[in-house]
């Protein structure tokens, strides 16, 4: 099986899976960065700020869906590692129906409350209307985005990270072409960027859906009642709901952080939201390494091989350390220059450069945090992993509001650094105490032969 990560050399297995995953992540970020570069250069800084203030609100709703999908993905990787393909099929049939209904509800709710949230967050009046228009279009596209991400998650859970990469390549190309046409030729502004994003995601989702239908019969949707299993679906919810709670709290936290950022004015909003796009691009491989560790661990624990799962973690930590150190030097030296690609002023670029110089030295800590978080999630220790993320975010929000008056806009970077340190420390301690072995059922499995021996 091409996606089986329970065999072969650990380093080769992880690299073979992680490489396309990292490329996918980088392309996904370039996808969003393209919107910002074209908006910044053809619409202006106010258009760029409109996209920046709208995106965190949009992701409030996406994070909820992503949390549910994560529970499905973790359980799927365990079943695949254990060769329980019938369970894969029944879980998928039940989950897809649920997640699509949820996506439609979330889209409708988002459209109803978007303007109230923008006003509540003290969004600068100059970008309020454009931000509302951008949100309306992207929220209408939520069901298509969910399908796109769900199909990619299915394939990654069974160890196929290459096909989702091809989907993202298709989506990125479509997005660039549509951005240029809709914004530059038809003059649709930020509305054009939003429409381009939705259409590009529809194209990628269709590509992945056709591939799955043709190549993986266990993922084919059936309307037969005996092909759905509520018990398996319930198990996926037990793994996914803690992530939903975490994501919901995280979304509220990010909105609170957005509120702090908005209070510093349009220049800071433009600078930091633009810097985060570059920051996300350079740091995303660390998140992808975490996702790879989670799938690797899930498959190997499903195959009752915890020693190999821990080897995967050690390899992942090394990969994260190498990348984070390299990126630190890159961002410190070129971060401010990269800001100017977005068409921002020298003053805005300088604010972004200062943000990079403050944060970048701590990227290795962020890498460690994500590596251990990925391991705990793959081992089904999702309640603790979610709690850890909530604690780290709480530290960030608390420090932001406490130190804003004394540190000014620098508080955005300082509070984020502190949250990385707290998160990394908590996850490491949890991994070392071995509680994850009981939660993933390994202690029970290991105890059976001992009892038989007696």
CB 80 within 8 A of CB 302: yes
CB 200 within 8 A of CB 175: yes
What is the model's pLDDT at position 441?
62
pLDDT tens column, 20-70: 888 887 777 777 777 778 888 888 878 878 887 887 788 777 878 888 888
Residue partners of 119: CB distance under 8 A and separation at least 6: 128
Cβ neighbour number for residue 125 with a 10 Å cutoff: 8
Rounded Cα–Cα distance for residues 144 and 434 (Å): 40
Rounded Cα–Cα distance for residues 107 and 61 (Å): 8
Cβ neighbour number for residue 398 with a 10 Å cutoff: 15
Residue closest to 68 by CA, chosen among 97, 108, 99, 92: 99
What is the model's pLDDT at position 415?
92
**Most distant CA pair in the chain, distance:** 79
Cβ neighbour number for residue 90 with a 10 Å cutoff: 22
Convert 261-286 to b/e letters by CB count within 10 Å (16 or more is b). Answer: bbebebbbbbbbbbbbbbbbbbbbbb
Quick one: three-class SS letters along the chain? Answer: CCCCCCCCCHHHHHHHHHHHHHHHHHHHHHHHHHHHHHHHHHCCHHHHHHHHHHHHHHHHHHHHHHHHHHHHHHHHHHHHHCCCHHHHHHHHHHHHHHHHHHHHHHHHHHHHHHHHHHHHCCCCHHHHHHHHHHHHHHHHCHHHHHHHHHHHHHHHHCCCCHHHHHHHHHHHHHHHHHHHHHHHHCCCCHHHHHHHHHHHHHHHHHHHHHHHHHHCHHHCCCCCHHHCCHHHHHHHHHHHHHHHHHHHHHHHHHHHHHHHHHCCCHHHHHHHHHHHHHHHHHHHHHHHHHHHHHHHHHHHHHCCCHHHHHHHHHHHHHHHHHHHHHHHHHHHHHHHHHHHHHCCCHHHHHHHHHHHHHHHHHHHHHHHHHHHHHHHHHCCCHHHHHHHHHHHHHHHHHHHHHHHHHHHHHHHHHHHHHHHHHHHHHHHHHHHHCHHHHHCCHHHHHHHHHHHHC
Rounded Cα–Cα distance for residues 292 and 290 (Å): 5
For the chain, the distance separating the N- and C-terminal CA atoms, rounded to the nearest angstrom, is 38
CB 219 within 8 A of CB 154: yes
CB 371 within 8 A of CB 430: no
What is the model's pLDDT at position 196?
92
Rounded Cα–Cα distance for residues 27 and 162 (Å): 13
The structure tokens listed for 346 are 């020298």
What is the model's pLDDT at position 276?
82
Below-50 pLDDT ranges, the chain? 1, 444-454
| Model pTM score | 0.73
What is the model's pLDDT at position 140?
94
What is the model's pLDDT at position 446?
43
Question: For residue 296, what are the CA distances in angstroms to 103, 381, 402, 435?
Answer: 28, 15, 40, 19
Rounded Cα–Cα distance for residues 65 and 165 (Å): 21
CB 355 within 8 A of CB 281: no
Phi, psi angle pair for 440, to nearest 5°: -90, 5
pLDDT tens column, 220-254: 888 777 788 899 989 998 888 888 887 777 767 77
What is the model's pLDDT at position 442?
59
CA angle 183, 187, 189 (to 5 degrees): 60
């Amino acid at each position: 099986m091409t996606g089986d990560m329970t065999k072969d050399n650990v380093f080769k297995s992880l690299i073979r899976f992680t490489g396309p995953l990292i490329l996918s992540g980088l392309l996904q970020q370039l996808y969003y960065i393209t919107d910002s570069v074209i908006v910044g250069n053809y619409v202006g800084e106010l258009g760029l700020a409109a996209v920046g203030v709208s995106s965190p609100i949009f992701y409030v709703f996406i994070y909820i869906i992503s949390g549910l999908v994560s529970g499905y993905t973790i359980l799927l990787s365990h079943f695949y590692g254990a060769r329980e393909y019938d369970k894969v099929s029944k879980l998928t049939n039940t989950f897809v129906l649920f997640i699509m209904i949820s996506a439609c509800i979330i889209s409708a709710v988002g459209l109803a409350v978007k303007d109230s949230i923008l006003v509540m967050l003290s969004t600068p009046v100059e970008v309020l209307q454009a931000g509302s228009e951008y949100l309306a279009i992207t929220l209408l596209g939520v069901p298509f985005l969910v399908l796109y991400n769900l199909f990619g998650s299915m394939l990654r859970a069974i160890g196929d990270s290459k096909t989702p990469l091809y989907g993202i390549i298709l989506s990125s190309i479509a997005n660039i072409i549509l951005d240029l046409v809709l914004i530059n030729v038809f003059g649709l502004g930020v509305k054009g960027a939003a429409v381009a994003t939705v259409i590009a995601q529809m194209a990628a989702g269709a590509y992945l859906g056709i591939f799955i239908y043709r190549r993986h019969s266990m993922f084919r949707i059936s309307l037969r009642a005996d092909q759905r299993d509520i018990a398996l679906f319930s198990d996926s919810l037990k793994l996914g709901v803690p992530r939903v709670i975490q994501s919901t709290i995280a979304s509220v936290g990010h909105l609170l952080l957005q509120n702090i950022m908005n209070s510093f004015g349009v220049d800071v909003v433009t600078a930091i939201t633009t810097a985060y796009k570059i920051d996300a691009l350079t740091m995303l491989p660390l998140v992808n390494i975490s996702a790879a560790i989670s799938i690797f661990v899930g498959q190997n624990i499903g195959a009752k091989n915890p020693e190999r799962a821990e080897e995967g973690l050690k390899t992942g930590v090394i990969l994260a350390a190498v990348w984070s150190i390299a990126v630190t030097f890159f961002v410190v030296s070129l971060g401010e220059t990269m800001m100017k690609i977005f068409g921002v002023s020298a003053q805005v670029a300088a604010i972004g450069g200062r943000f990079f110089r403050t944060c970048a030295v701590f990227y290795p800590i962020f890498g460690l945090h994500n590596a251990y978080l990925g391991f705990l999630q793959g081992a089904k220790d999702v309640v603790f992993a979610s709690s850890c993320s909530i604690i780290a975010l709480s530290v960030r929000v608390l420090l932001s509001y406490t130190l804003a008056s004394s540190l000014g806009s620098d508080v955005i970077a300082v509070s984020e650094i502190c949250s990385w340190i707290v998160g990394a420390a908590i996850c490491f301690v949890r991994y070392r105490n071995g509680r994850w072995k009981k939660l993933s059922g390994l202690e029970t499995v290991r105890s059976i032969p001992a009892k038989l021996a007696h």
